[in-house]
Structure 1
Amino acid sequence: MGFLFRWLLRLASAAILLSLLAVLVVYYLGSRSLPDYDKALAVSGITGDIEIVRDNSNVPHILAQSDRDAFFGLGYVHAQDRLWQMTLLRRTVQGRLSEVFGTRTVETDKLLRRLDLYPLAVQSVEAQDARTRDALDAYARGVNARIDEINADSLGRGAPEFFLFNAPIAPWQPADSIAIVKLMALQLSGHLGDEVLRARTSLQLPDEDRLADILPDIPGQGLAALPEYSALFPAGARFAAATPAQDRPALWPVPRRGLAGASNAWAADPTRSASGGTLLANDPHLGFTAPAIWYLARLQLSSGGVIGGTIPGVPAIMLGRSEDLGWGITSSYLDDQDLYIEELNPDNPEQYRTPEGFKAFRTRRSIIEIKDAAPITITLRWTDNGPVLPGTRFDLASITPEGHVVSLAWTALSGRDTSISAAIGLMHAHDVEEALALSEGYVAPSQNLTLADNETIALKTIGAMPRRDAAHQSQGRLPSPGWIEANRWQGMLPFSANPEFLSPSGGIVGNTNNKVVDRPFPMHVSFEWGDSQRVMRWQGLMQGREVHTRDSFIEAQLDTVSFTARSLLPLIGADLWFTGEAAPEGTPERQRQRALDLLANWNGEMNEHLPEPLIYAAWLRALQDRLIRDDLGPLADEFDHVEPLFIERVFRDVDGASAWCDIIRSAAEESCTDISRLALDDALVWIGENFGTALESLRWGDAHQATHDHPVLGEVPVLRYFVNIRQSTSGGDNTLQRGRTSGQDPMPFQNVHGAGYRGVYDFADPDSSVFINSTGQSGHFLSRHYDDLGELWRRGEYIPMSLDIDLARAAAVGVTRLTTD
């Protein structure tokens, strides 16, 4: 027995030692790719020395003797900190993920090949101005200098992920940067999904009033009634039955409905500023990832210093400031996508119908290489309107008549896309007028550009705006027959047609993705807008002060009071607050009364430490589901976020909207009060199952955790605890500090989409400006800079946004000197 025990002890000790050794080997290999920020390196491709000072937050300050060398330095630091992220973005837009990840990304590659974004980016290189081509070339040389350094010095392949996935790194090319901008356009565009959902709902709800309830227009004039979707096609047209919901393919770049672009930006001129200078605040909203999409950097250009948020892979400060000018962006929701139903020639399916008759598709074969599987070949097809999309995605099959296919018109499908020239030009602008002129070259994604120089503020919608015929059958809101000339795009409108607000008399301009103009179709800009709620709170905060300061702008940026909660709770609970005597303890009725008591004394603040936001959010979610489930059936799953205007229409009985409260399949006629009570009970049962029955002890932050997850390793056992960044957060779907919830079971209130960057700029004292990103500067999960900014971001704190190089040097984490070899 003693002999056996000794050998078991030896084997256990050996196993522990081997495990420890394996961990040390893995750590050694992973840590080899941790950048050394304090060094000198001789490189080729620069004309003078470059100094890169990384301040105590690891923000690089790039000092060079020419603009080309400054962009070289930016390429180098991007590749130092975010090489895996950059190559993943590039492979995504190229449709080459399956070479690394195998069959699970084939559907993603198929979509990107069909959209042809990378070849269009290659074509667009020649469309850039000389300054931009120089910047793209220099940036690519900087990225490649880091790749060469990794290969020469065996620096752990550049990132730990490259050990786990065999992903050879091709040299960076200028077209790669343009392609990433196009990929961002795909991630910020939601009109394709909106058109499909409206068509599916129209087929399910032929009553025009009910369609206007569940997919309401933002209040305002200039809106038009639409035909039923089925009325756009010949009588008797047959549509496929709704298909079961498909899982999203791995690394799918198209956002779910409600998770496309969003953002806040506002500016005040000197008459509304306590300091006598202009102010600007901006926080763009994107899906959370680890690391964040934003990378903070400062460049010293010939036109002066610029500092702000960059996107790894793109040589531009996309949002930020110089000494003279600040710029911020918000999603404009401009309708830049249209779906077309293309009729196939019944005698030749390789042709489609046009206004002039049948015409052959433009086709090209494309081979997709797949790791550990045979390659596949797909045929890409294009019509005059755009690429043909597969019916197996976006639920297109359910809205496509037999004998037809669907094509997509989209402004980003341009081979002469000069968006990156506009972005690089903006860094050189010194005032609002110059910035507005330079932004004319911006194509996609469309944004609202908020500007502030030392005296003037402005807001301009930038991006190409399709010219539609006034006789367009669906006004771009539904997929329309592609063979009818009036439905087709007629080029683009002039830049002067894009909404512009220059030096407003009130001294304040801003956007929360709300409706910005009230113009009739076809000059309407969009029928779909990203916000009808946050803007109400923003108006109150802006007009509540005669003058503003940097701190008041920060306060507004971090505001968590829900206008939606304050306006809807009195409606849905009107007949529930006072119901007579207290119910016995331990009964559902008593739990309901306890919840109502908490909500009655709540001010609508979506604070992470309070129970009321969770009760409110669960009640609204259960209420909308009860209202629509019996009318829409499985389609109700697509409405996974509460639409406040729908709830308001129902409880105010706008155009008979209270009809939603009656359950079709029951003999009794239910009132809205009945449904509201039942929904609250549903919510309390759900809360009890997931968070406990002690309502006063609930925390909104337990349900509303920000999910900065690694897009590849985030679901890998054990590793996910090292690469994912989870944080309890305040805010919600409709607060200025927006934390958009997932809407998906089993964790519908996870915070998955919000402000990955925040910045506030004060031009009375520019160096007092502040900014932050939501994770950290490094993409290397073994780096202390992987998540060091995350806790500051969660608490609503910022770091200095100064162009003073002495401040950067004072507590620098390292200084890199690139010298000519």
Structure 2
Amino acid sequence: MKKLKKVLLFIAGLILLALIGIAIFLNGLKPDYSGKKTLTGLDSEVKVLYDTYGIPHIYADKEEDALRALGYVHAQDRLWQMELLRRVAKGRLSEVFGKDLLKTDKFFLSLGIDDNSAETVSNTDLNGRTAILSQAYLDGINEFIEKGPTPIEFYLTGLDKEPFSLEDIHNAVGYMAFSFAMAHKTDPLLTSMRKKLGEEYMKDLAIGSDTSTVWIKNYKGINTDSLASNITTSVTAALEKLPIPQFEGSNSWVIAPQKTKNGKVILANDPHIGFAQPSVWYEAHISTPTYEKYGYHLAGVPFPLLGHDRNLAYGLTMFENDDIDFYYEETHPSDSTKYKTAEGWKEYGYVTKTIKVKDGKDVSFTYRKTQHGPVLNQIADQISGERPVSMSWIYTKPKNEVMDALYGLSHATNLEEFKNALPKIHAPGLNVMYGDAEGNVGWWATAKLYQMPDSLSTKYILDGTSGKEEPLRYLDFSENPSAENPPWNYVYSANNQPDSIAGMLYPGYYLPENRARRIVQLLDTKDDWDKEAVSEMILDVTSPVNTQLVTELIKLFDVSLLTQEQLVLVDSLENWNGEYTLTSTSPTLFHRSEYYMVKNTMEDELGTEMFNQFLATHIFKRQIAWGAKMESGKWWDNVHTKDVVETRKDIVMKSFADAWESLVSDFGADPSEWTWNKVHTLEHQHPIGQVESLRKYFNVGPFPVEGTREVINNLSFPYDDTGFYKVSSGPSTRRIVDFSDIENSISILPTGQSGNPFSKHYKDQAEMYVKGEFRKMMMNKQEIEEKAESILTFTKE
């Protein structure tokens, strides 16, 4: 017995030692927020003061030194995120996650982002300020890679750390330029739908510009087929595998002094991006004798995409302009190396790429290129051997000056300097929002826009052989939509249709008017805005469009067919104010009914696969209200019921019955139990969290959340037949800059500042975000020093 006790004690000791060793190892993976470190290349000491939420306030004598420190601290909190983001364009995700990411890698390699980045860097003036500061930032990242602890994700995936280069910065920006991807999801699908169903169906889709909707007003001052369907399927499958979020939409408004209580500009911005862990933005405050900015950085990008200082503030939303066109090509009948153009037969270009695959053999593939761009056939296995379709993307066409634009925006000191940087943004299309301490407000739609022949719809695959469906000219930047200091005293963007551009409505994938209408409704009726009122507005969860839709459709109800319980809930729905609160039941019934209405209207014609593809487009979001208001049309009839021709009223009643039945099945017969908090939830997912045993350590949430699709607090979700709405995208930050009290401007992140799961700042803002709370964006040096939670000092070697 004594021997057994000794053996057990010995084993227990070994286990204890192992646990202590693991604890020491894991503790060593935490970011260092205090102490002293040497940093190669510094000219003088740099102090990094961390506030309560882990946001670095970097004080240096030179901007180059500040950027080196920024690179280091950004990497120690977000190296894994940086690593994934730079791998997308280079087709290197399979190297981390295995063969499941092969199609994703092939697709992104074919876009040409990586090749464009290499060309851009080869033509870069390495002695220019953009390159010098970018390299300083990269030096900081690479020093952390060399000297800092390895993030846990690298151990779990067996990945080696590699230094970062200028090309990686451009690849990260290139991914952002592509990431909303609506043309890829939409144009081939619409082509396929048109071929299958004909023009009579297509005319009842919200494809073009709706003249009755809310537009963003300009103010210049006083002066298909199976191939098409397969492309959509391929692209959808590739994007679904991405382990990083996509950019989707956004809100922003800037209120001029005439409409604020304190007579100073207020800027609000909440870019809508896919939720993930870590969240997209890394906040950092840099202060030197010649430069100061409180900014929001994309992983691996030195200059902030959102930022403010004491002089000016700026934010972004997605423009949603159409900057991708697809073309049918024609291969020579006897020489497969040539394709037809208006000038005669030309030689295809051929590009070969090799993808490394984790636990597998390298995969090489070759794709063709035309004058338009890459040919998508054979990039995805299911698109081989059919008529070639090429893709023309504006991002890879003109000279790439996006990094110079970001440098210019972040270093501007006044309105004119800021405007001078805008024409350098050719893609992605962005609505740039501006306000300053002098009282100026502005909105500019920035993109390289081009004019196509009249009456040509770029929402379908075009003819690449005739030369008649090519861009006629590039628009000068002065022709882009914009508004500077308009007489209505505010500017805004909710990704909705802008007013006419150069005498035409520019094609795009604009979102429905819902958010725009609510923003205009609120801004127009108040002239004494302050920070508190704007913070309430940015959390608004009311949909005036949905309530109008309910009013329209309830008129069609045959009340004699409803039970007493149903009549009570319909009455409640009819009196619903459009708010999406956690305990409300009307939103749950509305969205179930809305889904079944679209399903019962369109799935019979489209088929299940095409219908689900349609649900993932912005056109579907516009179609909901547009389609429901159509009194007649071919869509209403169910093609499977040969002896009956269904009407809108029939579809409305059937959809309500289907919704009711599904809710009873999910939550029971008591309608008071059908509350929004049971169906609308948010979980921030980490790529490693897909492994169920690791989910609780890497993912954040889930949380029940207020809001919905296309309200100001846009917590959006994909529609499917589950009837549960798992939030996939929403405000990546809520940010309010008040020039009457600039040092007390406020913000919030969805989870936390750090992407390191062992950091206390990994998820310390998550509950605040769900509750609609804010924290200060600190800029006062004395206050920062007094309240600093820790100080990290970098010295010269």
TM-score, normalised to structure 1, is 0.89
The answer for the alignment partner of 2:168 in structure 1 is 176
What is the Cα deviation at residue 658 of structure 1?
A: 7.1
Structure 2 CA distance for partners of 1:12 and 1:333, relative to 1, 3 Å: farther
The answer for the alignment partner of 1:213 in structure 2 is 204
Partner Cα separation in structure 2 for residue 511 and residue 395 of structure 1: 39
**Do 1:705 and 1:751's aligned partners in 2 also have CA atoms closer than 8 Å?**
yes
2:346 is equivalent to residue 359 of structure 1:
yes
> Can you list the C-alpha shifts for 1:707-748, whole angstroms capped at 9, x where unaligned?
2101x2121022111211122111111201001112235465
- Aligned pairs for 1:403-482 within 5 A: 403-414=386-397, 416-454=399-437, 455-465=439-449, 467-471=450-454, 474-482=456-464
What is the Cα deviation at residue 413 of structure 1?
A: 1.4
**The residue matched to 1:142 in structure 2 has which SS?**
helix
What is the Cα deviation at residue 519 of structure 1?
A: 4.3
The answer for the alignment partner of 2:557 in structure 1 is 576
2:532 is equivalent to residue 556 of structure 1:
no
> Can you list the C-alpha shifts for 1:478-524, whole angstroms capped at 9, x where unaligned?
11111222322356322112111111011011010111113478x53
**Do 1:610 and 1:700's aligned partners in 2 also have CA atoms closer than 8 Å?**
yes
2:301 is equivalent to residue 314 of structure 1:
yes
**AA matched with 2:204:** D
Partner Cα separation in structure 2 for residue 721 and residue 103 of structure 1: 26
**Do 1:343 and 1:403's aligned partners in 2 also have CA atoms closer than 8 Å?**
no
The answer for the alignment partner of 1:720 in structure 2 is 695
Structure 2 CA distance for partners of 1:740 and 1:647, relative to 1, 3 Å: closer
Partner Cα separation in structure 2 for residue 328 and residue 53 of structure 1: 25
What is the Cα deviation at residue 652 of structure 1?
A: 3.7
**AA matched with 1:537:** R
The answer for the alignment partner of 2:648 in structure 1 is 672
Partner Cα separation in structure 2 for residue 336 and residue 682 of structure 1: 40
- Aligned pairs for 1:277-676 within 5 A: 277-390=264-377, 393=380, 403-414=386-397, 416-454=399-437, 455-465=439-449, 467-471=450-454, 474-489=456-471, 492-519=474-501, 523-576=504-557, 578-579=559-560, 589-634=563-608, 635-640=610-615, 643=620, 646-653=623-630, 656-657=632-633, 660-661=636-637, 664-676=640-652
**The residue matched to 2:362 in structure 1 has which SS?**
strand
Structure 2 CA distance for partners of 1:746 and 1:781, relative to 1, 3 Å: farther
The answer for the alignment partner of 2:217 in structure 1 is none
**AA matched with 1:629:** E
**The residue matched to 1:373 in structure 2 has which SS?**
coil
Partner Cα separation in structure 1 for residue 381 and residue 413 of structure 2: 44
**Do 1:344 and 1:403's aligned partners in 2 also have CA atoms closer than 8 Å?**
no
**AA matched with 1:215:** A
Q: Which of 770, 777, 795 is matched with 1:801 structurally?
A: 777
**AA matched with 2:447:** G
What is the Cα deviation at residue 404 of structure 1?
A: 2.1
What is the Cα deviation at residue 359 of structure 1?
A: 1.3
Partner Cα separation in structure 2 for residue 140 and residue 741 of structure 1: 36
What is the Cα deviation at residue 80 of structure 1?
A: 1.0
- Structure 1 stretch 504-513 or stretch 433-442: which is displaced more? 433-442
The answer for the alignment partner of 1:744 in structure 2 is 720
**Do 2:78 and 2:299's aligned partners in 1 also have CA atoms closer than 8 Å?**
yes
The answer for the alignment partner of 1:263 in structure 2 is 250
> Can you list the C-alpha shifts for 1:648-702, whole angstroms capped at 9, x where unaligned?
4445435x33751555524233332232122112112222333333221233122
Give me the identity figure in percent.
26
> Where do 5+ consecutive residues of structure 2 fail to align?
214-223
Partner Cα separation in structure 2 for residue 394 and residue 221 of structure 1: 43
**AA matched with 2:591:** A
TM-score, normalised to structure 2, is 0.91
What is the Cα deviation at residue 289 of structure 1?
A: 0.2
> Where do 5+ consecutive residues of structure 1 fail to align?
223-228, 231-237, 584-588
**The residue matched to 1:707 in structure 2 has which SS?**
strand
Q: C-alpha root-mean-square deviation of aligned residues, in Å?
A: 2.9
Structure 2 CA distance for partners of 1:302 and 1:424, relative to 1, 3 Å: farther
Structure 2 CA distance for partners of 1:469 and 1:214, relative to 1, 3 Å: closer
**The residue matched to 1:639 in structure 2 has which SS?**
helix
The answer for the alignment partner of 1:586 in structure 2 is none
> Can you list the C-alpha shifts for 1:276-320, whole angstroms capped at 9, x where unaligned?
101110000010000101111111245432113111200011112
- Structure 1 stretch 351-360 or stretch 743-752: which is displaced more? 743-752
- Structure 1 stretch 62-71 or stretch 17-26: which is displaced more? 17-26
The answer for the alignment partner of 1:225 in structure 2 is none
**AA matched with 2:475:** L
Partner Cα separation in structure 2 for residue 356 and residue 546 of structure 1: 60
**Do 2:244 and 2:276's aligned partners in 1 also have CA atoms closer than 8 Å?**
no
Structure 2 CA distance for partners of 1:515 and 1:20, relative to 1, 3 Å: farther
Partner Cα separation in structure 2 for residue 555 and residue 534 of structure 1: 15
Partner Cα separation in structure 1 for residue 661 and residue 381 of structure 2: 33
**AA matched with 1:513:** N
- Structure 1 stretch 128-137 or stretch 287-296: which is displaced more? 128-137
The answer for the alignment partner of 1:248 in structure 2 is 237
What is the Cα deviation at residue 179 of structure 1?
A: 1.0
Structure 2 CA distance for partners of 1:59 and 1:349, relative to 1, 3 Å: same
Structure 2 CA distance for partners of 1:498 and 1:59, relative to 1, 3 Å: same
**AA matched with 2:576:** W
Q: Which of 113, 136, 139 is matched with 2:137 structurally?
A: 139
**The residue matched to 1:388 in structure 2 has which SS?**
coil
Partner Cα separation in structure 2 for residue 260 and residue 672 of structure 1: 35
What is the Cα deviation at residue 57 of structure 1?
A: 0.9
The answer for the alignment partner of 1:707 in structure 2 is 683
**Do 2:107 and 2:238's aligned partners in 1 also have CA atoms closer than 8 Å?**
no
